Amino acid sequence: MKNLRFIVQPGGKLTGRIRVPGDKSISHRSIMLGSLAEGVTEVTGFLEGEDALATLKAFQAMGVEITGPTNGKVTIKGVGMKGLKQPVESLNMGNSGTSMRLLSGIVAGQEFSCTLTGDASLSKRPMKRVIDPLSLMGAKISSQDKGLPPLTIQGSSQLKAIDYTLPMASAQVKSCVLLAGLYAEGETRVVEPAPTRDHTERMLRGFGYQVESTKLDDLATEIRLSGGGKLTATHIDVPSDISSAAFFMVAASIAPGSDLVIEHVGINPTRTGIIDILKLMGADILLENEREVGGEPVADIHVRAAQLEGIVIPEHLVPLAIDEFPVLFVAASAAQGQTILTGAEELRVKESDRIQVMADALQAVGIDAQPTEDGMIVNGGSQLAQSAAIISHHDHRISMAMTVAGLRAVAPITIDDCANVNTSFPGFVKLAQSVGLMVAAEEA
């Protein structure tokens, strides 16, 4: 495969108004629930990135008629809870952990078996976290050594509800168990130890399914649903992805003279850790035109450049900003003083080991970034002093975070293996160029 290389020239500032692509988490779920619903679901603002398309193709392969995406519009002819068909071949989830983990929950409730595969990065990501609860519910799942993909799931029409406390704060595992719970006999209860994104719960309610959530204490929540119900087709308007907006929020914060508005961004409170953390660092961020779109809060995010300060990142914000740390480490590099992140060991099992890979990348450009077991210590403030060649390690967010780093560099940065940006952010380079980032892509 050809290497897509990003070349970032130092400096620049960001001005204007932009709209980033649709939310990845919501796009996945719209296909899944739309497929299982009765009736026709229309989705607008769908993310036309490879991850969400992997989910779309998987449901087509299970017999669901889905048209689009065309300009973000997708039409799904729901087949009902029991209408999926056994796919002829294994289902390839590409780079997408969300597809594999959420689909596992759905396939566990089918009367057929099927194999889920992934690319080199996904094939190294832990699936024991979904195999364990699904096995307790009665599914039979085989994996490679240590619970790695591919997974072969022998579904069952006799799943049993479970009472499950998540061993880690993971929306993917929570969603997997809840989706299997739709097919289980009895009431499935999931306790999350800290708040994680709640798009599954919200969208299930949007499709007319009863889901209860009860706060157990400051952090933990119990979510309950009973199996055997049905989903009713609806319209889903997908807001822009705050995780994609995050690159531009940090970029505009650290590039002097910037003044940028990012329009129509989803600001679900389980996703806004990036805003809270940047504000604690002294960022100038305003939410404008706040409104609700299809059960999800949305706003335009107005960011002006500000001198950031290093902070100790509060641990309760970690799951609420879990995908944003690659670019938050770049913010920490540009901040005066020390930033300390702890309680973020989950970063080691994302599309890459984001603690090690980002520490290596920042050190390569001359930043004092020390990886720790569950986080990082970054001594920021200086400019990125060295020209460097970075490798993304199959991770879209490393490619984009290091592009943003170029704004504070004194010499060009090249980033190899950037085709993965298409998994979550098609059109990134063009959009970044349009607001002032000096990045170019070439096939090397």
Cα–Cα distance for residue pair 308/121, rounded to 1 Å: 33
- Tell me whether residue 333 is annotated as binding: no
Nearer to ligand S3P, 25 or 221 (CB): 25
* Using rule CB under 6 A, residue 403 touches ligand S3P: no
Q: Which residues lie across from 40 on neighbouring strands?
A: 77
**How buried is residue 17: exposed, middle or buried, by Cβ count under 10 Å (0-12/13-18/19+)?**
exposed
Nearer to ligand S3P, 50 or 300 (CB): 50
* Using rule CB under 6 A, residue 272 touches ligand S3P: no
DSSP-derived 3-state class of residue 400: helix
Show the site string, 192-231: x = touches ligand S3P by CB under 6 A, - = not: ----xx----------------------------------
Nearer to ligand S3P, 44 or 172 (CB): 172
- Tell me whether residue 86 is annotated as binding: no
- Tell me whether residue 230 is annotated as binding: no
* CA proximity to 26, closest of 91, 61, 74: 74
* φ, ψ for residue 429, nearest 5 deg: -65, -45
**CB 394 → ligand S3P: shortest distance, Å?**
14
* CA proximity to 129, closest of 151, 112, 111: 151
- Active-site residue (options: 23, 237, 241, 323): 323
Q: At which residue do the structure tokens 């995780």 appear?
A: 243
323 is catalytic: yes
The residue number whose beta carbon is nearest to ligand S3P equals 25
Contact 179, 32 (CB under 8 A): yes
Show the site string, 335-354: x = touches ligand S3P by CB under 6 A, - = not: -----------x--------
User: 113-117 and 91-92: which strand pairing?
Assistant: parallel
* Using rule CB under 6 A, residue 33 touches ligand S3P: no
Question: What strands, in cross-sheet order, belong to the sheet with 221-226?
Answer: 163-165, 187-192, 221-226, 212-215
User: 296-304 and 337-341: which strand pairing?
Assistant: unpaired
**CB 429 → ligand S3P: shortest distance, Å?**
21
Show the site string, 233-252: x = touches ligand S3P by CB under 6 A, - = not: --------------------
- Tell me whether residue 104 is annotated as binding: no
User: 40-44 and 73-77: which strand pairing?
Assistant: antiparallel
Residue numbers in the known binding site for phosphoenolpyruvate are 24, 97, 125, 172, 354, 397
Residue numbers at the binding site for ligand S3P (CB under 6 A): 25, 98, 170-172, 175, 196-197, 322-323, 346
Residue numbers in the known binding site are 24-25, 29, 97, 125, 170, 172, 323, 350, 354, 397
Catalytic residues: 323
